[in-house]
Structure formats: structure tokens, C-alpha cells
Amino acid sequence: MPVQAPPTASPSQESLLELFPPGTALADDGALVIGGCRVTDLAERFGTPALIVDEAALRSQARRYADGLAARWANSRVAFASKAFPCTAVYRLLAEEGLSIDVAGGGELALALAGGVAPARIVVHGNAKTDAELRMAVDAGAGLIVIDNFDDIDRLERIVADEQPVLVRVTPGIRPDTHAAVSTGQEGSKFGLTLSQAREAIARLRGSSRLRLDGVHVHIGSQILDTEPFARAVEAVAALGAFAVYDLGGGLGARYTYDDRPPSVEEYLDTLVDAARRVLPEEAHVIIEPGRSMVAESGVTLYRVASVKRGEPTFVAVDGGMADNLEVALYGQRFEATVATRVGGGDPCHLVGRHCESGDTLSAEAPLRDPRPGDLIAVPVTGAYTYSLSNNYNGALRPPVVFCQGGDARAVVRRETYGDLLRRDLP
């Protein structure tokens, strides 16, 4: 996934708002209103940085996926790839919308259970599951455990006392056009089993008295902006034979910049289901696992400008950065930004963070209108992975998560304190 070139011209207010959650508006004085809440009020009440989530937008996207898939393939379900936003309140909301959940690791499993997700609706992933994590999943009654390697089979054969449904993760040898850090389906990937290895695992599982082979799983990567590789992935797992369950993974990209044009959810579903109709058994149960495209657009991060260094370039430094948004440094993801009370227009600026790294950039060449210390900056499309990857670099305090709906706002994750940083220390 190459780093996106900056836009050639400042976007209009109308086009800029396209990146924000649906329903985002401007107040009479020009301030952003998200989920019916003025961003100035949110910043005053919850401080900055803060991750703001439009609850209605998130619910709407969940229904769009669930209803869209069901209309195309009735025997199906959507499982949220929760590594994109492993927050208890998000698990609870998506469970209320009827979604299943996929987890990778004991921490995500614990959060999902705390969020009220029914264990039978949990899919457990991971390329290096420990005995403790597998035992935790089995004891919880996880609906499906995805076999990523032969060691998973060995461990589960020792741990499972009764019967555990499993899927085999297949690496189909497909490399989509995305950044290497989020590409998972190519030859040499650390995830899953090659087609020949998968056949060996399938044969072994069919002879197991404890592990019930329900089907196969495939996932080729994240932030994929073309549907064609998804169809090839379906064809690859179909070649392994007929199964009761086909988990087709996720990976649809989100629109982060004005220039991005990812496929719509409907185009993505059409591609998957058209391929499934051609090559999968018509009675099969189909699962998909959207993550980034489920939650990205519902989130907006608010920052406060700490300093402005005017020159070539102009640096606008805010009170957050790579501690609350690591995607830029990790794989070159580009974000847009605007002064939250003077939306649209302005000259290109380097929007940077407060951390001691030259790579601590939030948005290069972002058009900001007359930025000044104390201004609020809004960065849209931060609902995916920013929370997951948040950290305490330079002793930063991880920000709160605030849900907004119909003009009401509530913190679902509080801001960390310095006491939190010290709590695990031992004398």
C-alpha cells in the first residue's frame, strides 16, 4: 500500500465532511457537530486527545453489513474482526446488533466476554496461540477456533475433553495491493497453512475424536481497495473440497483521504457472493470478518494545537500523535485533518505530534485554515486501529473513548492517569 500523495487542492466543506461519520454537520459558527454534539463541548468536557465515536454511524454500518450479506446469502453471518477496535463498549454494541466477533488472543476474548458476546458467536484466531489462551477459549465455549498451524492441533487434542468445532486457515498465495505490514495471504506469510499443508491438516482433523472440522478460513490482508483478490481467495479455498462452513475473512479498505475510492460494502459483498455462488456448495454457511471498514468511519480524533512553527513547511504540533495513532509510522497510512472550528480551506501544513520521533506525523500537507495554538484539530476516519495500537510513548496517557448519539455524549473508556502508569510497578 503506497503512501498516498497529498491532495492537489483544498477540499470544499462539503467534500471534507464526506470523510466524517454520516450526519456530521457544521454549527452556525462553523464548528463541527458529530453525533449531535459540538466538538468544542466535547473537548471541554472530555479533554484532548479524545477518540469520538458516532454510535449511530457504527450501528448503521453493522446493519449494512449484516443485512447486505443476509440478502445475498441467507445462511451467513458477519463476525467483527475486533482487533480493529477491541473496546468493551464496541463489543457490546455490535453484539446488540447481532454480529459475531472474532478475537485474536486472550485479551480480546476477555473483553468480548465482558461485553456480553455469546461464546458460541466467538471465532478465535491467532498464529501463536498459547496453551493458556486455547484453554481459555475452550473453557469459555468459543464457537469456532481457527487452526493456524499443526501445533494448534496438538495443543487442542490435549486440552479438549469433549468436542471443539474448528476451521483451518488457508494461505492461498494471493498478495493484494496493500502495504506489506497488513498483507497476510501471500506465499511466505506467517499466517495459516499453504494449500498442501491445509490438505494435510484437514485429513488429520477428519480423523480426530475431539476436534470437529467445520470448514476452512481465508484472510488475505487489510486496507484492500480492489475486489478482485477476494474472488480469487474464495476460489482457492473452494479447491480444498466441500465443507459446512467457509469463513472468507475481511480486508475491505476504508476511505481515509479525499482521493481514496474504495469499493462500497455492497460491491464487496457482490464480489464475494458471486464467487461463492460459482464455486461453493449452496447449502454452506458463509462467514465474513470485516474490521477496518466496519469501524473506521465512525471515529474522529480531537486534538488541541500546542504550537505552530510557520515556515517552509509550517509545522502544526498537537497534544497527541503516535501514542494514539501509530498507523502513519507503522505503515504509512495517510489521514486528513481540519481545524474543527474553521472547517475547510487553508494552506498545507505538516500536522505533527508531540512525541520525540521525527516520524511522529499525523498528516503531511494537511490544508489547515489559519491554525493557532489552542485550536481544535479533527482527524476523521480514526475508528480503526488507533485505539488498538495506542501506547504510552514518552509517558503519554491513552485517550478516552467517547460515544455520541443524538446530542448526548458519554465516555466508555476513561482517560488514563499517571497513577495508571505507576500501578503495575513493584518496589
Helix (H) or strand (E) holding 238: helix 228-238
Of the residues 37, 87, 356, 404, only one is catalytic, namely 356
Q: Which residues pair with 81 in a beta bridge?
A: 102
- Residues 279 and 129: their CA atoms lie apart, in Å, by 31
Query: Is 356 part of the annotated catalytic residue set?
Result: yes
Q: Which three cell numbers stand for residue 24?
A: 456530521
Asked if 273 and 203 touch (Cβ cutoff 8 Å), the reply is no
216 contacts: CB under 8 Å, gap ≥ 6? 167, 168, 169, 170, 198, 202, 237, 240, 243, 245, 246, 247
Q: Three-class SS of residue 263?
A: coil
Task: For 117-176, give the DSSP string.
Answer: --GGGEEEE-SS--HHHHHHHHHHT-SEEEE-SHHHHHHHHHH-SS-EEEEEEE--S---
**In angstroms, what CA-CA distances link 64 with 148, 226, 372?**
30, 19, 40
Q: Three-class SS of residue 417?
A: coil
Q: Which residues are catalytic?
A: 356
